[in-house]
């Protein structure tokens, strides 16, 4: 392989994972194409110092294996994704970029708006509650006070999860949202729904990282 070809191979196939310290090029992972609604998830395996490719949904025989080149940075409309994909010199033809673009853009824009609302309200609530009840710690209100913000936050998270499911975004990001959702349900005292949400987070974490990953094992211990 000549130098130019080698440099292009690295340029177009390297992946930068949040879980890994360096950009990497994998022999098998390099053949996975991009989709904005992928059927697989790439993660760094610390134990073997390699990249693992996990299916996050069932695939049909002959179906192409796809990952998102944006990993967990998905809440952007088609136009922005298309611009970013110019780095790899191709136009995405996934269902979100072709037939379902309008619905997909609406959902992803809603996810971004809901996250923004959630982050602002969550921070304001934590600061407010810490001020009001410093002896009770952050994120708590005095007994007997109806915490409407908590129910607004739960509603944000519920909608985000639903939009992500409708978009088929079963990546690690969904487990982070579900973990937040479970924590807020615990605060609200809805332990039954919390258990179901935590189990769902575990199921997706198992798909993304595998059952032997330390994060999966830690969550499995919490849910058992
Ligand atoms: Zn696409």
What are the tens digits of pLDDT across the range 192-212? 999 999 999 999 999 988 888
Tell me how far the alpha carbon of residue 105 lies from the centroid of ligand 1, in angstroms.
11
Q: Write out pLDDT tens, residues 115-161.
A: 999 999 999 998 888 776 655 544 455 555 568 899 999 999 999 99
Ligand 1 centroid to Cα of residue 82, in Å, is: 8
Rounded to the nearest angstrom, the distance between the alpha carbon of 175 and the centre of ligand 1 is 22
Q: pTM of the full predicted structure?
A: 0.80
Span 101-118, mean pLDDT? 97
Average of pLDDT values for 8-23? 59
Can you tell me the distance from the alpha carbon of 160 to that of 116, in angstroms, rounded to the nearest whole number?
11
**For the ranges 48-52, 155-159, 184-188, 202-206, which has the lowest average pLDDT?**
48-52
Q: Ligand 1: distance of its center to the CA of 36 in Å?
A: 4
Q: Is the pLDDT of residue 180 over 90?
A: yes
Buried (b) or exposed (e) across 58-75, using 16+ Cβ within 10 A? eeeeeeebbbbbbbbebb
Q: Mind listing the domains of the chain with CATH numbers? A: 3-97 (2.170.270.10), 101-223 (1.25.40)
71 CA distance to ligand 1 middle (Å): 13
For ligand 1, a single-atom ion, the residues with CB < 5 A are 36, 92, 94, 96-97
- Percent of the chain scored above 70 by pLDDT? 80
Ligand 1 centroid – CA 204 distance (Å): 22
Looking at residue 47, its pLDDT comes to 77
Taking the centre of ligand 1 as the mean of its atom positions, its distance from the CA of residue 97, in whole angstroms, is 4
How many contiguous H segments (helices) and E segments (strands) does the chain have?
7, 4
Residue 181 CA to ligand 1 center (angstroms) comes to 28
Q: How far is the CA of 79 from the centre of ligand 1 (A)?
A: 10
- What's residue 199's pLDDT? 95
Instruction: Say whether pLDDT at 86 is over 80.
Output: yes
Distance (angstroms) between ligand 1 centre and the Cα of 116 equals 23
Give the Cα-Cα-Cα angle 79, 85, 91 (nearest 5 degrees). Answer: 80
Mean pLDDT for the chain overall: 85
DSSP 130-197: HHH-GGG-TT---TT---HHHHHHHHHHHHHHHHHHHHT--SHHHHHHHHHHHHHHHHHT-HHHHHHH
Write down the pLDDT at residue 3: 67
Examine the pLDDT at 18 and tell me if it is beyond 60.
Answer: no
**What value does the mean pLDDT take over residues 34-42?**
91
- Measured CA to CA, the distance from residue 135 to residue 98 in angstroms comes to 54
Listed as own residue / partner, the contacts of 104-108 with beta carbons closer than 8 Å and 24 or more positions apart are 104/36, 104/37, 104/77, 104/78, 104/167, 105/77, 105/78, 107/163, 107/166, 107/167, 108/74, 108/75, 108/76, 108/77, 108/163, 108/167
Q: In this model, does residue 181 exceed pLDDT 90? A: yes
The pLDDT value recorded for residue 15 is 61
Question: How is residue 86 annotated by DSSP?
Answer: G
pLDDT at 222 over 60: yes
């Amino acid at each position: 392989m000549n130098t130019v070809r080698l440099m292009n191979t690295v340029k177009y196939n390297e992946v930068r994972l949040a879980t890994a310290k360096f950009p990497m090029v994998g022999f098998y992972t390099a053949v996975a194409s991009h989709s904005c609604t992928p059927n697989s998830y790439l993660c760094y395996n610390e134990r073997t110092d390699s990249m693992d490719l996990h299916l996050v949904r069932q695939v049909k025989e002959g179906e192409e294996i796809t990952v998102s080149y944006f990993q967990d940075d998905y809440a952007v409309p088609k136009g922005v994704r298309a611009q970013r994909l110019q780095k790899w010199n191709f136009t995405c033809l996934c269902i979100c970029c072709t037939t379902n673009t309008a619905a997909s853009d609406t959902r992803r824009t809603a996810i971004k708006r809901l996250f923004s609302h959630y982050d602002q309200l969550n921070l304001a609530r934590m600061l407010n509650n810490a001020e009001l009840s410093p002896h009770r710690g952050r994120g708590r209100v005095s007994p007997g006070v109806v915490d409407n913000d908590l129910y607004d936050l739960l509603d944000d998270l519920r909608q985000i999860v639903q939009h992500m499911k409708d978009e088929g975004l079963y990546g690690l990001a969904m487990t982070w949202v579900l973990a937040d959702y479970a924590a807020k349900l615990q605060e609200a005292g809805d332990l039954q729904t919390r258990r179901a949400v935590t189990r769902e987070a575990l199921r997706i974490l198992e798909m993304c990282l595998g059952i032997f990953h330390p994060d999966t094992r830690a969550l499995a211990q919490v849910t058992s």
